[in-house]
């Protein structure tokens, strides 16, 4: 059933109201805060949920509140067919905003700016308007669509188990918290710690400390170390030579008997390590170019270089490189290292394709580290998520996407995880068009207004088609 003309007219009339309601939600700082009584994720997410549910009432819905973890609104009281899963919590505002204050939405040059406009308050409001459109057009449906709004997506999704402990998963689910066309594969993951220890050795020159990223899922753009027993001038000369190979810079400064080094590469998300230049592996490359005194610490540094060489983002040296046609190649990012005079603890972040499992990935990494005298935690892989491309939900979403955008619909595999990672028939769908960088999680986050409007139209048509 094609209701394109009626849907277009509806949003020609109501699009600005939708922007106004997005601005209303953006005004609430809903980053995770300390829990309070009745506020499992803090006051901000709680207030955002209350505001959204009140807004839903004003739009004629009868919202449900699941103990302030999750809220939901239904299109009708019939058998549930489709869940739309969005969230109202946001990442911290951070610094560097120039267009507007993070919690004061502003429309400028076809975009609406503010924290949450793209991730994920804007899409949550868009989904509500899509449901309202179907209802106001008086279209008879045989089944129900439900919008679920959570409050803890950014910090672990502790809200979702609470909801699904009392509600069954709908036969089909999509989350408007990503991009188009359809993300139907989310890679598996593992990020184990590994360690080694030794007795302190005093021979000079020696490395006294190394520090990588502070978060395992962030490829370090900077890494730091200290060296004792070498002159600043000699180290600077070697830094210039190594920098030509690593494509990085090294800042050095004298600190008493130590020379402190800051390696500067390019940061990236661990799910896309090829987009960055790993400062930690580049720092190890530099340190091992120095004339360090032979020691167990240096031997372990050489082992780390052997297993995680600079520029290897697919785990080739660790022996775990693999790929498949549907989900692409494994990625691996050596991101964290706390190295001292008597040992180290490190950690890597691996995003693994559908063909990966504990036996061919985790166990291989563990054996190859053990061969170098390094012990790795025996963590299980987090399983990948896959909804087949020929499933009814994927085919329907792609069909409507193509009809309303004129662009080719296709399935996408990603290294990250979304709200639907643990839902049997859940995929990510919208609201950003391919190629749009809406600065999600960064300063001056925005959503393109036309993309939000067309998303509302797409969602309305999807609801009609799936619930008819």
Strand (E) or helix (H) holding 196: strand 193-197
Gap between the Cα atoms of 301 and 142, Å rounded: 64
Instruction: Say whether 21 is catalytic.
Output: no
Find, among 179, 218, 227, the residue nearest to 347 by Cα: 218
In 157-312, where does DSSP find H-type helix?
159-164, 232-246, 279-287, 296-307
**What burial class does residue 441 get, using C-beta atoms within 10 Å of its C-beta: 0-12 exposed, 13-18 middle, 19+ buried?**
middle
- Separation of alpha carbons 161 and 157, rounded Å: 8
Active site residue 380: no
Contact 371, 378 (CB under 8 A): no
List the Cα angle 266/271/273 in 5-degree steps. Answer: 35
Burial class (CB within 10 angstroms; exposed 0-12, middle 13-18, buried 19+) of 155: middle
The residues near 391 (Cβ < 8 Å, ≥ 6 apart) are 184, 425
The Cα–Cα gap between 374 and 392 comes to 47
Nearest to 411 by CA among 326, 325, 324: 326
The SS3 of residue 218 is strand
Whole-angstrom Cα distance, residue 468 to residue 146? 14
Of the residues 89, 120, 285, 396, only one is catalytic, namely 89
State the catalytic residue, choosing from 21, 51, 153, 285.
153
* Alpha helix stretches (DSSP H) within 210-329: 232-246, 279-287, 296-307
**SS3 label, residue 323:** strand
Q: Measured between alpha carbons, how far is 430 from 420 in angstroms, rounded to an integer?
A: 13
Backbone φ and ψ for 443, nearest 5 degrees, come out as: -70, 150
Strand order in the sheet with 111-113: 106-108, 111-113, 446-448
Q: Give the whole-angstrom CA distance, residue 366 versus residue 375.
A: 7
Dihedral sign, Cα of residue 429, residue 435, residue 441, residue 447: negative
As annotated, the active-site residues are: 89, 153
């Amino acid at each position: 059933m094609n209701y394109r003309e009626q849907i277009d007219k509806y949003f020609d009339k109501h699009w600005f109201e939708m922007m106004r309601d997005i601005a209303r939600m953006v005004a609430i700082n809903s980053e995770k805060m300390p829990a309070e009584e009745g506020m499992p994720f803090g006051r901000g997410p709680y207030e955002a949920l209350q505001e959204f549910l009140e807004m839903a009432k004003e739009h004629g819905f009868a919202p449900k509140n699941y103990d302030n973890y999750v809220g939901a609104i239904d299109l009708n009281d019939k058998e549930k067919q489709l869940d739309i899963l969005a969230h109202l919590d946001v990442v911290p505002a951070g610094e560097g905003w120039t267009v507007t204050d993070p919690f004061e939405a502003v429309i400028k040059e076809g975009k609406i700016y503010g924290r949450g406009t793209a991730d994920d308050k804007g899409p949550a409001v868009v989904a509500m308007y899509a449901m309202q459109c179907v209802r106001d057009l008086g279209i008879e449906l045989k089944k129900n669509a439900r919008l679920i709004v959570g409050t803890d997506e950014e910090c672990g999704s502790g809200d979702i188990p609470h909801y699904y402990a009392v509600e069954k998963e709908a036969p089909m689910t999509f989350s408007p918290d990503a991009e188009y066309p359809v993300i139907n594969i989310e890679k598996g993951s593992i990020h184990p710690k590994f360690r080694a220890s030794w007795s302190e050795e005093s021979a000079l020159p020696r490395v006294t400390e190394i520090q990588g990223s502070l978060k395992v899922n962030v490829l370090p753009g900077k890494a730091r170390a200290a060296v004792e027993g070498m002159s600043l001038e000699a180290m600077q000369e070697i830094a210039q030579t190594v920098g030509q190979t690593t494509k990085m810079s090294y800042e050095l400064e004298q600190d008493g008997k130590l020379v402190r080094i800051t390696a500067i590469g390019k940061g990236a998300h661990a799910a896309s390590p090829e987009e960055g230049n790993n400062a930690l592996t580049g720092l190890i490359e530099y340190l091992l170019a120095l004339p360090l005194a032979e020691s167990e610490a240096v031997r372990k540094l050489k082992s780390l270089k052997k297993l995680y060489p600079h520029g290897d983002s697919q785990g080739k040296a660790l022996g775990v490189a693999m790929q498949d046609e549907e989900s692409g190649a494994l990625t691996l990012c050596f991101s964290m290292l706390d190295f001292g005079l008597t040992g180290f603890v490190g950690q890597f972040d691996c995003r693994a394709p559908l063909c990966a499992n504990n036996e061919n990935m985790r166990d291989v990494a563990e054996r190859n580290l053990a061969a170098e005298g390094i012990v790795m935690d025996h963590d299980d892989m987090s399983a990948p998520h896959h909804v087949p491309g020929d499933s009814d939900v994927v085919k329907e979403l792609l069909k409507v996407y193509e009809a309303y955008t004129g662009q080719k619909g296709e399935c996408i595999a990603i290294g990250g995880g979304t709200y639907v990672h643990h839902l049997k028939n859940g995929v990510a769908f919208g609201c950003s068009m391919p190629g749009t960088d809406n600065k999600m999680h960064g300063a001056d986050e925005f959503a393109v207004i036309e993309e939000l409007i067309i998303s509302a139209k797409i969602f309305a048509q999807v609801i009609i088609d799936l619930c008819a």
